[in-house]
Amino acid sequence: MLTRRKWLGIWVAGAVFLTGIPSAPAQTQELIVYSGRKEPLVQPVLDLFQKQTGIRVVLKTGDGSALANQLSEEQNNPQADVFIATDAGVLGRLGNSGVLQPYTSSAVQKIPARYRGTGWVGVTGRARVIMYNKNLVKENELPTSLFDLTDPKWKGKIAAAGTANESMLGQVSEMRTALGDEKTRDFIKGLVANQTTFLKGHTDVRKAVGRGEFPLGLVNHYYYHLQLAENSPVGVIYPDQGAGGIGTMINVSGAGIVKGARHQAAAQQFIDFLTTAPAQQIFAKTNYEFPLLPGVAAQSDVRSLGEFKVTQVPLSVLAREVDASLKLANTAGMP
Amino acid sequence: MRNIVEARPIPRTAPLPLRLAAGGVAALLGLPLVYLLVRSLEADQATWSSLFATQLAPLLITTFSLAVTVTTLAVALGVGLAFLVERTDLPGRGLWRVLCAMPLVIPPYVGAFCYLTLLGPQGLLEQWLATQLGVAAIPQVRLIGFPAAVLVLVLFTYPFVYLLVGAQLRGTDRSLIEAARACGQGAWQTFWRVTLPLMRPAIGAGGLLVGLYALADFGVVSLLRVETFTAAIYTQLTTRYDRSGAAVLSAVLILIAFMVLWAEQRLQGRRVAQLRSAWRPSLPVPLGVWRLPALGAVVGVLGLSLFLPMGLLIAWTIESLTDESAMAAVWTASYNNIWSGLFNSLGVAMAAATIAAIAALPVALWSVRYPGVGANFAYRISQLGYALPGLVVALSLVFLGNRYLGWLYGTVAMVVIACIVRFLPEALQGLRSALAQISPSLEEASRSLGHRPFSTWCRVVFPLLWPSLLAAWSLVFLSSLRELPATLLLRPAGFDTLSVRIWIPASESIYSHAAPAALLLVLTSLVPLSFLFVRARAGEGR
C-alpha cells in the first residue's frame, strides 16, 4: 500500500513540476512559423535562416488546409508570424480574407508577378505531370495530353489523388479557367469512367506506380524525381506541350506574413530571405522544385521553368475558384 | 448466509457541493458539444441536404458495421482470454495474465502501420511471395480496407475488455460458484447463469470503451482506407473551408454516441455488490485435453497483437541507430529530438491524468449514489468526449480558445484540456463500476455512526476506491500519451510530443524515423500499466 502511494506521489509531483515549467524559454528574437510543407523539406531553410540571423525559428508543421483553418480561427488572437503553404489557393484564400497581411519589398518583387498574390509570395513551383512505370508502358504508347487519360485503353490503369489534395483541386481550377467547365467536367467524368483509383495522397500514388501497381500516375513533378531516387523504373511526361495544347499546369508553394504577427520585423526578414538565391537553391535541392527567382537553376536533372510550355492562368484564380471546382469535381464523380 | 445484497441507492438528494462540482465538470466537457451543435445549425440547407443525399447512408453503414464487428470480436477475445487466464489451469497463467494486457501500450495507429507494411499492398509478405512465385503482384494476399481495420482495432483494443473482466473474475467469491454447483448446475450452466451475469457490468464497460474507440478512431481507418465518419469529417475539415459540413457530420456522430451509451445502460441491468468478509478466490477449472490448444490460442493472439509489432518496432529502431541520417534526425537533432518529445509527452499525460481522475470523482459519485435526472444527464454528457474524434474536440477548443480564452490559447494547457475532454470518460467508467461495487450499506453504517457525508467519503469510500482511482489515472495517462489528432492541432509551435514525432515521419512512410519514438512511447506506457497490475494484486490479497 505504501509503495503504491509513494509511486503515485512521485508521479503527481512530477506532473506538477513539469507543467509548472514555462513551455518556451523567453528569447529576445523569435519567429513562429506554421508550415503546411513537410518538416524535412522546410527545416534546412529554417536552419540556414537561424544561422544567418540568430533569430530562433519555432516550427509547427501539419496539414496545410488544417493549419489555414486554424489561422482563420486565430485571426483575432494571432499566434503565428509566418505561414508556409504548398498551394496558391490556400494562400490566396487567407490573403483575400485578411488573415495574411500584404507585404512587399524589393526582394519580393523579384519574383514574377503571376506567382504572387494579396498577402503572399510564391517561393517554388511544381508542375502537374504524368509519371509512368517503364516496365508496364511502352514509349510509343505514352499519353501526351492529360485528356489522353480518358481513353478507354487506360481503364483501371491510372492512380491519382482526389479533391482532398490541394494540387489536384488547383489543377481542376486551372483547367476550368483555361478550357471552361464543360471540358473539365468531361475530363473528370472520363477519369472516373476509366476506373481511376483515387489514393490518399501523391506519396501513395508515386509508390504505387514505382512498385508496378499502376502503369500511370497523375502527380506533381517532384514525386517522379523522388520515386526515381528510390531506383524505381519510372518516367515522366510533361503533358499538353504540342501546338494548340494548353501547356503543363503549374502551382506554387509560398509564404505570407500573418496579420497582427508579434514578430513583424523578423517575419519580413524571413519572407525576404525565402526569395533569395541561397534559400531557393536549398528548396531546389531538397525537393526538386523549380526556383521562382529568375536566374536560379533547378536541380541538374530537373527541367527549368523556361524549358516547357506553361498553362497561362494567373494563380490568383485558384483561391477564387476553389469552391466551384470542388463542386464540379464532386458532381462529376471525383471523391 | 447471504453474500449478495442489492446495491440500492440511498434515498437522499446529493449534497450541494457535490452537485455543483459534478455539474461544473459536465458543463466544461459539454462545451465542445455545444460548439458543434451551433456550428451544424449554422450550416445552410444546401449543406445538410447534399451531405444527407450523397454521403450519409454509406457512412452510416460502414461506421456501424465497423463499430459492431470490432466490439463483438473484442468482447469475445477479451472475455475468452480473461477466463482462460483467471479461471483455468492454463500453463504459465501468471505470465500470460500480464502479457495479455500488454497490447494496450501499442497505439492502434502504430499497429496499423506495422500491419500495412507487412500485409498491405506490396507489403513484405506479398513481395516475398511474389519473388518466390516469380510474379509481379499477388493482390489476393493483401489485407486492406474493412477486414484489415477490424483485425487491427480488435487486436489493440481487446485489452480494455480483458482488464475489466479479468478484475471482475478475480474478485468473484468462490462460494457463488460452489452454490451453483451444489444446486446441481453443470460447469457450462454455472458459467451462463452465474459467471457471465456477474461479468456483465465489466463487459458493458469494456465493450463501451472499445465501441466508442472504433467510432472515434481516425488513425487506423485512414491508414487502412476505410471511409467512416471520422475519415469523412477529416476530409471536410482539411480540404473544405466551410466547416459547417464537418459540424453536420459530427452532429450525426454525437447522436450515434448517445445511442451507444443508451444501449450500454440497458445492457448493464441490475448492479450487484458483494460483501468481502468471507471472500475466497475461485478454484481453477481443469482444461484437460484442451490445455495445449488453449495455450496455443493465447500465444497466437499475443503473437499478432504484441510480439509481431514489437519485433518490427525493435528492428526498425536498430535500423535507425545504424543509419546516419536517421541518427541525426531522430536521436541527436538539436531541435525537436526524441528526448524533448518524451519530456513533453510525460508532462501532458501526467497533468491530464491527474486532473481527469480527480474531476471524474464527483460525477461518478453523483450518478451512482444519487441517481436521478440531473445525475444521469451529467454522466451522459461527461461520456461524450470519448466518442468525439480528437480533431473535432481540438477544433472546438481552437474556436472557444480564440473567442473566450485568448490568454490560454497557444499554451500547453490547451493540449491538456483536449486530453481531459477526450479521456475523462475512461476514468469515469472505471470509477463508476468500482463505486457500484462498494456496498452502500458501508456508507449507511458510517452515517448511522454520526459521520457526515464528506467524512464518510474520506474514511470509508475513498480508501476502498483508491485502487480504482489509480487504475483510472493510469488509463487516462496511457490514452493521453498516445493522443495524436488534437495534439497535432493544439500544440504550441515548437512543442512536439512523442506521438507527433511518430506521426510526422510515419505520414511520409519513413518507418525507421518513426519507430524509435514509437518504441519509446510503448516503453513509457509500461509504467502506468504496471499500476493496473498493482491494483490486480491488491484485489487478490484481499
- Is-contact B472 B426, C-beta < 8 A? yes
Q: Is B408 on the interface with A (CB under 8 A)?
A: no
Q: Report how far residue A159's alpha carbon sits from residue A173's, in angstroms, rounded to the nearest whole number.
A: 20
Q: State mean pLDDT over B203-212.
A: 85
Residues of A with Cβ-Cβ distance to B345 under 8 angstroms? none
Task: Quick: pLDDT tens for B72-88.
Answer: 999 999 999 999 998 88
Burial of B286 (0-12, 13-18, 19+ CB in 10 A): exposed
Instruction: Tell me which chain B residue has its CA closest to the CA of residue A166.
Output: B239
Question: Any bridge partners for residue A258, and if so which?
Answer: A100
Q: Report how far residue B164's alpha carbon sits from residue B162's, in angstroms, rounded to the nearest whole number.
A: 6
Altogether, the residues listed in chain B come to a count of 542
Please indicate whether, in this complex, the C-beta atoms of A60 and B494 are within 8 angstroms of each other.
yes
What is the reported pLDDT for A316? 85
- Is-contact B509 A40, C-beta < 8 A? no
Instruction: Tell me which chain B residue has its CA closest to the CA of residue A212.
Output: B136
Instruction: Tell me which chain A residue has its CA closest to the CA of residue B487.
Output: A62
Residue B495 is nearest to which of A23, A80, A326, comparing CB atoms? A23
Residues of B with Cβ-Cβ distance to A8 under 8 angstroms? 470, 473, 531
Instruction: Tell me which chain A residue has its CA closest to the CA of residue B328.
Output: A40
Q: State mean pLDDT over B397-405.
A: 78
> Which residue is it, cell 484442451?
B290
Q: State mean pLDDT over A253-267.
A: 95
Decide if pLDDT at B405 tops 70: yes
Residues of B with Cβ-Cβ distance to A212 under 8 angstroms? 136-137
Q: State mean pLDDT over A252-258.
A: 95
Decide if pLDDT at B2 tops 50: no
Instruction: Grade residue A230 by pLDDT with cuts at 50, 70 and 90.
Output: confident
Q: Is B533 on the interface with A (CB under 8 A)?
A: no
Please indicate whether, in this complex, the C-beta atoms of B350 and A11 are within 8 angstroms of each other.
yes
Decide if pLDDT at B333 tops 80: no
What is the reported pLDDT for A9? 58
| % of chain B beyond a pLDDT of 70 | 88
Q: Is A74 on the interface with B (CB under 8 A)?
A: yes
What is the 8-class DSSP label of residue B458?
A: I
- Of B29, B159, B109, which Cα lies nearest the Cα of B475? B159
Task: Quick: pLDDT tens for A51-92.
Answer: 999 999 999 888 888 889 889 888 888 999 999 999 999 999
Give which of B62, B128, B237, B238 to mutate to test A binding, by max A Cβ within 10 Å: B238
Task: Quick: pLDDT tens for A8-54.
Answer: 556 555 555 555 444 444 445 899 999 998 888 888 999 999 999 99
Q: Report how far residue B169's alpha carbon sits from residue B173's, in angstroms, rounded to the nearest whole number.
A: 9
Residue A203 is nearest to which of B240, B488, B508, comparing CB atoms? B508
Q: Report how far residue B371's alpha carbon sits from residue B12's, in angstroms, rounded to the nearest whole number.
A: 10
| % of chain B beyond a pLDDT of 90 | 19
Q: Shortest Cα distance from B350 to chain A (angstroms)? A: 5
Neighbours of B128 (CB within 10 A): 11
Q: State mean pLDDT over A200-229.
A: 90
- Of B141, B203, B146, which Cα lies nearest the Cα of B169? B203
Q: Shortest Cα distance from A129 to chain B (angstroms)? A: 21
- Is-contact A74 A262, C-beta < 8 A? no
Q: Shortest Cα distance from B167 to chain A (angstroms)? A: 18
> Which residue is it, cell 477479451?
B78
Task: Quick: pLDDT tens for B497-513.
Answer: 998 888 877 776 677 78
Residues of A with Cβ-Cβ distance to B243 under 8 angstroms? 69
Q: Is B136 on the interface with A (CB under 8 A)?
A: yes
Altogether, the residues listed in chain A come to a count of 335
State whether ipTM is beyond 0.85: no
Give which of A2, A12, A23 to mutate to test B binding, by max B Cβ within 10 Å: A23
Please indicate whether, in this complex, the C-beta atoms of B412 and A65 are within 8 angstroms of each other.
no
